Chains A and B, each alone.
Chain A
Amino acid sequence: MPSSTASEPTGTGARRPRVALFVTCLVDLFRPSVGLAAIKLLKDAGCRVEVPDAQTCCGQPAFNSGDRRDARDIAARVVDAFGGYDYVVVPSGSCGGMIHEHYPALLGDDTELGRRARALAERTHELVSFLVDVMGVDAVSARYDGSVTYHDSCSGLRELGVKAQPRKLLGTVEGLALAELPGAEVCCGFGGTFCIKYPEISERMVSDKARDIVNTGADTLLAGDMGCLLNMAGKLRRAGHKVRVRHVAEVLAGDLDTPAIGEPAAEFAPARRKQE
């Protein structure tokens, strides 16, 4: 399997950009596969990918809880750890939006740090929009036999304009049929700390979302943010629906070696055998 000797750049000519992957805390804890899929996609697009050691979380939980001091401290560390790369790429619109939209204002009081935060913000992108908009990727070489529906996560959609890019690439996955989700732009009710502070409201919101997902008849739900995916997968499972839930990067990378999110290992194994 190729590692650092990935395929030639498809997007930006001879020089291969040096890209830092911001893994995100939820991918780190719940689903490393998403990070590995992101690395594969970036390499296939002609990037040199590094994973800076000193990363933990973007600080959004503190920021949205009103804990500005901790949010600033954590943001300052991210600015330190991720300086010096051509791009920073994040497999999440939420964490990407945090760095891109909120870091400059959060760190803006301090001139030098604020300047560096602005520079980082300009170089930071959500994964799929980076592939399409910056690297010029217009197709992936992957296969997925199934009908898929797609949820637009709020921050990616409204802070970063991620909407057409995942659909464009999913359209090039062999065997994949996309069934659009009615209300795809309506929040799933995750909302970070919201789902902990107001679990009943959050649960009702994700119930509505699960109903819409099931009504599409798709066998797979994709999205670009682990928070929303955990929420929707958890609800679909509890309600007894067998819709498979994956991060869009896994399908684009053809990285389907792990059970879907929330899928029991026992259900996954026979499905794999059948596919093989």
Chain B
Amino acid sequence: MESTSHRFKENAREGMANPSLQRAMENMRRGFPDKRLAAIGRLPEFDALRDRARDIKNHVLEHLDFYLEAWEAKVTAAGGHVHWCRDAEEARRTVLAICRRLEARTVTKGKSMIAEEIALNPFLEANGIEPIETDLGEYIIQIRNEPPSHIIAPAIHLTQDDIEKSFRASHRQLDPGRPLSEPHQLLDEARSLLRDKFIAADVGITGANFLIAETGSSVIVTNEGNGDLTQTLTKAHIVVTSLEKVVPTLEDAQTILRVLARSATGQDYSVYTTVSTGPRRPEDLDGPGEYHVVLLDNGRSRMLGTEFHDMLRCIRCGACMNHCPVYATVGGHAYGWVYPGPMGAVLTPSLIGVDEAGHLPNASTFCGKCESVCPMRIPLPRMMRHWREREFERHLSPAASRYGLGLWAFLAKRPRLYRLVNGLMARVLGLLGREHGGFRHLPLAGGWTGGRDMPAPEGEGFHQAWARKRRERTRAA
């Protein structure tokens, strides 16, 4: 996917000017956080589970090579194939080669952020293979030719009206007078159109929430069951995933699953949890003829052992963006690449470079809400700050802000001079602003005063006020 992360400010402006997006974000703001709170309220051990989930992933990341090799051996033993891919290009070519060998014309796809990361759909289309998204949200944005705006709710930027319009525009073969004002009518229409596609597809592609080292299985969670149809009805099931998804045992995956859905949608558990191990065996009633895992690195192994190491614990629940006030203000597309919100602000610079994605770790108030809801206890603000440090070291931050910061720091290290300057500013700004209480325009603060006043100082610095107060007391005594 082509990044527009460098245009974050413009993207954000567009998002804030889009009334439909703003309505959709208002719905999200009210929805997900309350559902999460209700779900964790029903599970007293939720915080203890978060600790265990974090510890499992920490352990895996310390021994990643060991668990990946153990997992690969089990995949192979079950008759599957693992394809180690260093980058997006290798991953795309691997998928294409499998599709070509099987003479695939259409592929169905379950929801996969890794497929988005490697921009699989346009690549397959360019090579004459039709990819069909089968997750409802992904299907909606596919017919709208849009990227996802959220990692678990790809069409969350849309309202029901938007979706009805898109269905009418895209499904021209259907009766234009049909009713589509109810959510279930939209769902039924998508389901009936997708049913034929499932049956016709040659290859099914899914992501993976977990890879299980002890069994060589991949695990997906969905709410629609589309993943199961995608992977069982085809000649081959291709899992596109990334290497940090491995966990030692099914029991470990189970522990993490207990925090995943609760954090994501506020469900106790996703509707479908599907475990896949190898291709169809002779005694199986159904299943794919081949089972492949395209295992992507794409910069992740470089994060190991760095200050961004903890980000590899992320289980893609989306809680950080569900609760992020900046995300809710600008929408997911503003972030300009695959991963939006706080987790994207840390991960995106790691994957596509901080030169391109430098805005993302800066576009946070550090309110800390993301870290407080992260089921894996990832210190997201701390890692965003680390990116800011790298930008500062490399002089990527704007010259004016560096200059201002430098001047301020110079003063902050000289208390006497600082007090003098501070007292002067307090006096001058206080005198000028007292009558109106504040300023509607202020040089060098145009951003602030564009939409709000700058309240005036009282008129003297604290230390001057404190000294005056003490003098008055002495006199009174």
Interface residues of chain A, those whose CB is within 8 Å of chain B, are: 1, 3, 23, 25, 27-33, 35-36, 39, 51, 53-57, 59, 61-68, 70, 73-74, 77, 154-155, 158-159, 185-187, 189-208, 230-231, 233-235, 237-238, 258-259, 261-267
B413 — which chain A residues lie within 8 A by C-beta? 56, 70, 73-74, 77
Which of B12, B366, B408, B409 is in CB contact (< 8 Å) with A200? B12
Give B46 Cβ to nearest chain A Cβ, in Å: 18
Select B16's contact among A32, A53, A66, A201, beta carbons within 8 Å: A201
Would you give 12 A-B contacts (Cβ < 8 Å), ordered by A? A1-B473, A25-B422, A32-B465, A51-B463, A53-B415, A56-B415, A68-B389, A73-B413, A187-B325, A199-B451, A231-B452, A264-B436
A227 to B455: give the CA distance in the assembly, Å.
Answer: 11
Q: Is the CB of B12 within 8 A of A201?
A: yes
Q: Is the CB of B401 within 8 A of A203?
A: no
| Residues of A contacting B299 in the complex (Cβ-Cβ under 8 angstroms) | none
What is the bound-complex CA distance between A193 and B409, given in angstroms? 14
Q: Are A200 and B458 in contact (CB under 8 A)?
A: no
The chain B residue sitting closest to A260, CB to CB, is B437
Contact, CB under 8 Å: B435 / A159: no
Q: Is the CB of A198 within 8 A of B363?
A: yes
Q: Is the CB of A262 within 8 A of B447?
A: no
For B, the interface residue count at a CB cutoff of 8 angstroms equals 72
| 0/1 interface trace, chain B 360-392, chain A, CB 8 Å (1 if under) | 001111111101100000000000010111111
Contacting A158 at CB < 8 Å: which of B367, B419, B425, B460?
B367
**At the interface, is chain B mostly helix, strand, loop or mixed?**
helix
Least Cβ–Cβ distance between A113 and chain B, in angstroms: 16
Chain A residues closer than 8 Å to B16, beta-carbon distance: 200-201, 204
State whether A196 and B448 are in contact (beta carbons under 8 Å apart), knowing that A29-B425, A201-B16, A262-B438 are contacts in the complex.
yes
A187 B454 Cβ-Cβ under 8 A = no
A196-B448, A262-B437, A265-B437 known; A187+B367 contact, CB < 8 A: yes
Q: Inside 8 A of B390's CB, which chain A residues have their CB?
A: 66
Q: Residues on B close to A: CB < 8 A? A: 9, 12-13, 16, 325-326, 329-330, 362-369, 371-372, 385, 387-393, 397, 401, 405-406, 408-409, 411-415, 418-419, 422, 425-426, 434-438, 440, 445-448, 450-458, 460-466, 469-470, 473, 476
Residues of B within 8 A of A197 (CB): 362-363, 401
Tell whether A66 pairs with B458 under 8 Å between CB atoms, given A28-B463, A154-B365. Answer: no
Inter-chain CA distance A95–B425, complex, in Å, is 21
Tell me the smallest distance from the CB of A85 to a CB of chain B, in Å.
17
- The answer to whether A195 and B447 have CB atoms under 8 Å apart is yes
Enumerate chain B residues within 8 angstroms of A261, measured Cβ to Cβ: 455
Q: A3-B473, A205-B325, A264-B435 are in contact. List 8 more A-B contacts (CB 8 A).
A: A54-B415, A56-B411, A66-B387, A195-B448, A196-B445, A200-B451, A205-B365, A262-B437
- A207 near B451 with CB under 8 A, answer yes
Give me the 5 closest cross-chain CB pairs, A-B, nearest first: A191-B365, A199-B447, A66-B392, A66-B388, A262-B455
B451 surroundings in chain A (CB, below 8 A)? 199-200, 203, 206-207, 235, 238
A54 and B363 CA atoms in complex are apart in Å by 33
Give the chain A neighbours of B363 by CB distance below 8 A. Answer: 194, 197-198, 201
In the bound assembly, the distance between CA atoms of A232 and B177 in angstroms comes to 49
Whether the pair A67, B372 counts as a contact (CB closer than 8 A) is: no
B433, chain A: closest CB distance, angstroms: 9
A70 & B409 in contact (Cβ 8 Å cutoff):
yes
Flag if A35 contacts B466 (CB, 8 Å): yes
A64-B388, A77-B413, A203-B451 known; A29+B457 contact, CB < 8 A: yes
